[in-house]
Amino acid sequence: MNAKHSSCYEFLSRNGLIISVLVGVGVGFTLGFGLRVVEPSDDALTWIGLPGEIYMRMLKMTILPLVVSTIITGTARMDPKSNGRISALSFGYIIITNTIGAVIAILLFLIIQPGKDLEISGSDYSDSIQTDIETSDMFADMIRNLFPDNLVTACFQKAQTKYSQSTRVLMMNGTNSSVTVVHKSVSSTGGLNILGLIIACTLFGITASKLGKRADPFTEFFETISIIVIHLLNWIIWMTPVGVASLIATAILKASDIENVFSSLGMFVLAHSVGNIFHQLVLIPITYFIATRKNPFLFLGACLRPWLTVFGPPSTAIGIPEMLKTLDVKLHIDTRISNFLVPVGATLERLGSCIFICLSALFMVQLEGMSLGASKILLIGLLSSVGSLAVPSVPSASIVSVLVVLSSLDVQVHNIGLLMALEWYNDRIRTTSNTMTIIIGAVVIDRLCSSSLNSAEDNSLKESPTMESEVKINTQNNTARTSEVNVKMDNETASTRF
């Protein structure tokens, strides 16, 4: 009996958050459907939705320190002086793959249209959205926001083109006619300038990496902030069951056509699943075969253990030891590449998250009945690609980035609770895509850098004969090193329950 109680307690402690979120989802659906019969008033809806609103406000509270600390810490880990080629290729690979995630999401959205012909009442954006902005001005504002003139104001303001009209009376052919003239001016609007902060923090992080030990206090300061914010986010995540119940119940009560709501949510989950499955079972095997000319199914088999490792928590950081072991022992990737790309990738690589962020933002905008032109879709894709770099490797962190993207467009979302209904599934499948992207990235970069790394190793052996024996010893100790990393990370995993 003691053994059964102990295994039951271990199961509950390991999966307590998942179970409680599922309970919260059930409570939210029950309240939503049960209270629809009595048609609650607007005041009642306000109080029902208040816990969910507080939950979302607490998530928003972590956005600024999360973005700043994560980007600076991630870029400061790079060492462009000693591993310039590896650093450049790794960072370029991360940028390209995150952009691919946005492209996949846009294509799936245009094909499946998960929020088409769906309208949820209670959302009025006439006062919060400037609908007459021109496409050229929209992109000009985006470029301006890339380079903030004040880092303090960038935390709560961003540049935006404003329009004003004046009427002039002109004499034409003997008659007076009035002409309306539109004047443009660059002003500011409230909201977090996520683009500018990411660029500025990236520059600070790269500079810190070049300064070496002199910048250690600076890097350690932001690394400490990152750790504190992530722990705080872990505490906030435990409020998810209450927040989810409130958000789902409110969304259901506000829905004018509940049948279309659930059919649309199913189409959203389908679109998200298709995107990640296509990436993992089609794009990655093709990339591996092109890079190595080897059987991609053997590669997928080698990646199974890290895939399962990150599916459980879900967190890319938890999979670091398994990724290192797979790359070093099974795939025989140069340790200089795996030791650099895996931790940096765990911080910045977010292809799967980018699919979710971009698709969710498009779905929410369409769900609110707003028009989506080509310029706005492209802007959401760009914001998702850049904003995904700031997603930490903790559960449900992508929801924060969805809020960032939507707030950058001045979209006030009242129905994001629908996304939380199946977040336990969406979070896991996108985390596995992030992990698989890191592993295949190490393979690709190893192929691109193999000649330069081998020549550098040969030169070092010629300069120092004793290096040959050290290299052999290091090679023999790769398996032992990864085992030690496994033990260390397992201990950290046991102390970090999501």
Exposure string for 53-84, b = 16+ CB within 10 A, e = fewer: eebbeebeebbbbbbbbbbbbbbbbbeeeebe
Q: How far apart are CA 324 and CA 326, in angstroms?
A: 5
**How far is CA 352 from its chain centroid?**
8
Q: How far apart are CA 482 and CA 486, in angstroms?
A: 6
Annotated domain spans of the chain: 17-156+191-495
pLDDT value of residue 321: 80
User: Are 64 and 155 spatial neighbours (Cβ–Cβ below 8 Å)?
Assistant: yes
pLDDT digits (tens, 9 = 90+) for 440-483: 999 999 998 887 766 655 555 555 454 444 444 444 554 444 45
Q: State the CB neighbour count (10 A cutoff) for residue 361.
A: 30
Q: State the CB neighbour count (10 A cutoff) for residue 371.
A: 8
Number of H helices, E strands in the chain: 22, 2
Q: How far apart are CA 404 and CA 400, in angstroms?
A: 6
Domain made up of 17-156+191-495: CATH architecture? Orthogonal Bundle (1.10)
- The reply to whether omega before 285 is within 30° of 0 (cis) is no
pLDDT digits (tens, 9 = 90+) for 169-192: 666 666 767 767 777 878 877 777
Q: What is the DSSP string of 237-259?
A: HTTHHHHHHHHHHHHHHHBS-HH
Answer yes or no: is pLDDT of 497 > 60: no
> What CA dihedral angle connects 157, 163, 166 and 170, to 10 degrees?
150
Answer yes or no: is pLDDT of 372 > 80: yes
Helix segments in 303-422, DSSP class H: 304-311, 320-325, 335-348, 351-367, 374-387, 398-408, 417-420
pLDDT digits (tens, 9 = 90+) for 307-355: 887 876 667 877 888 888 899 999 999 887 887 788 778 878 899 999 9
Q: What is the DSSP string of 25-53?
A: HHHHHHHHHHHHTT---HHHHHHHHHHHH
pLDDT digits (tens, 9 = 90+) for 49-72: 898 888 878 877 877 887 788 778
First to last CA, the chain: 28
- Assessment of whether the complete model's pTM goes beyond 0.85: no
281 — pLDDT class (breaks 50, 70, 90): very high
pLDDT digits (tens, 9 = 90+) for 396-441: 778 877 877 887 777 766 667 777 767 767 888 998 999 999 999 9
User: Are 131 and 383 spatial neighbours (Cβ–Cβ below 8 Å)?
Assistant: no
Q: State the CB neighbour count (10 A cutoff) for residue 475.
A: 11
pLDDT digits (tens, 9 = 90+) for 126-139: 333 343 456 567 66
